[in-house]
Amino acid sequence: MSITTDKVLDSRANQVDPANIQFGKTYSDHMLVADCIDGIWQDPKIVPYGNISMSPATTFIHYGQSIFEGIKAYKNKEEEVSIFRPYDNWTRFNRSAERMAMPHVPEDIFIGGMKELVSLDRDWVPTSEGCSLYIRPFMFATDEFIGVKPAENFRFMIITSPAGAYYSKPTRIYVQKKYVRAFPGGIGFTKAAGNYGATMLPTLEIKNLNYDQILWTDAIEHKFVQEIGTMNVFFVLGNKVITPDLSEGTILAGVTRDSIIKLLKERGIIVEERPLSMQEIVDSYKKGEFREAFGAGTAAVIAPIAELFYEGETIYPASQEKWEISNWLKKELIDIRYGAVADRHHWMYKVC
Ligand SMILES: *Cc1c(COP(=O)(O)O)cnc(C)c1O
């Protein structure tokens, strides 16, 4: 597979003010495009970032065969650019693809293409701590056909966008029992576009009540916690860290989630992956053992929870000065990403 490159004449990278990056508003100079036609991947192209044109009958617009990923690249003090665990995103992308009856994207297009694209746009990777280049690979069905059937043609693309330091003020969480995000047999474990479309109305409703995020509960009994917003969720109850397990297919297997579990276990902290009910969290709160709770994902990394509204009452973790675990994790992940400590897990994939 060879990648052809059509470079821009003038880079826009110097127009970005590193102190004032608005996430998702600016895209780097180039993007990657690869088409899969009747099951055969065509050679990818790197071209100037720009609009794409398509038939209004393009199938994904109507029926949602569309998936994506979110990954970050970091620049360390030596100006080396590395991507955080891209192979984990690649395998997850292909799991999403399978569930959505879409083709696997081969390594030389997903990883090879990303490496080439990020190297070419390396001036877009911000240097200051907490900043990164957000990488968005995505794929959608491109058949020009409005009959409902699995498509035969697909387009894979990668765009990138500089991301500033993300400070997440402790969030107010609404425990959702009316709407559901995921159910056994569904697509909760995939990054399929429709998963996000379905959360917009519930999110608007809780924002109007002045909450920041939803804590989703299971679809059948509304008893067990799943995720917050579009992040995995962790609770520190007593001396244990508990996060929902992945067995039902209702939880997105976060790369941040996996990294956190590994870091905590290495430090000798007890981590349990298992069903966790709201009742257990409330009981722990009543015993004074609800210490911390946080969301985890590529965008915010660690998003601490300030309070949870559940069945008419509000419960709180311990006060902010005591959030030892989330603060330690945040620092540990920053140190690994910017090269302040050894990358003992080989999580940083150096591109240039
Ligand atoms: C992307 C995502 C996550 C976090 O996954 P990371 O790999 O850590 O970024 C968690 N939950 C949902 C629903 C997501 O879409």
Phi/psi zone of residue 95: left (φ > 0), alpha (ψ -120 to 50 degrees), beta? Answer: alpha
Ligand 1-lining residues (CB < 6 angstroms): 70, 191, 227, 230-232, 252, 254-257, 297-298
CA of 144 to the centre of ligand 1 (A): 31
CA of 226 to the centre of ligand 1 (A): 12
Largest Cα span, the chain? 64
Distance in Å, CA 253 to ligand 1 centroid: 7
What is the tens place of the pLDDT at every residue in 65-95? 999 999 999 999 999 999 999 999 999 999 9
From the list 166, 163, 164, 162, the residue with the least C-alpha distance to 29 is 162
Extents of the domains making up the chain: 4-165, 171-337
In ligand 1, which atom is closest to the CA atom of 92? Answer: 7
Q: CATH second-level architecture of 4-165?
A: 2-Layer Sandwich (3.30)
Atom of ligand 1 nearest to the CA of 188: 13
Q: Which atom of ligand 1 is nearest to the CA of 259?
A: 8
What's the CA-to-centroid distance between 181 and ligand 1, angstroms? Answer: 13
The stretch 8-17 carries a mean pLDDT of: 92
Tell me the pTM.
0.97
| Length, in residues, of the chain | 352
Please write the tens of the pLDDT for every residue from 231-284. 999 999 999 999 999 999 999 999 999 999 999 999 999 999 999 999 999 999
Convert the pLDDT of each residue in 145-196 to its tens digit.
999 999 999 999 999 999 988 777 899 999 999 999 999 999 999 999 999 9
Q: Is 216 exposed, middle or buried (0-12, 13-18, 19+ CB in 10 A)?
A: buried
Q: List pLDDT tens digits, range 278-297.
A: 999 999 999 999 999 999 99
Q: Which of 96, 248, 252 to mutate to test the pocket of ligand 1 (most atoms within 8 A of CB)?
A: 252
CA of 26 to the centre of ligand 1 (A): 22
Predicted confidence (pLDDT) at residue 128 exceeds the cutoff of 90: no
Of the residues 72, 228, 230, 258, which should be mutated to test ligand 1's pocket, given the most ligand atoms within 8 Å of the CB?
A: 230
23 pLDDT exceeds 90? no
Overall CATH class of domain 171-337: alpha beta
CA 25–ligand 1 middle distance (angstroms): 21
| CATH topology identical between 4-165 and 171-337 | no
Residues near 223 by beta carbon (within 8 Å), at least 6 away in sequence: 217, 277, 278, 279
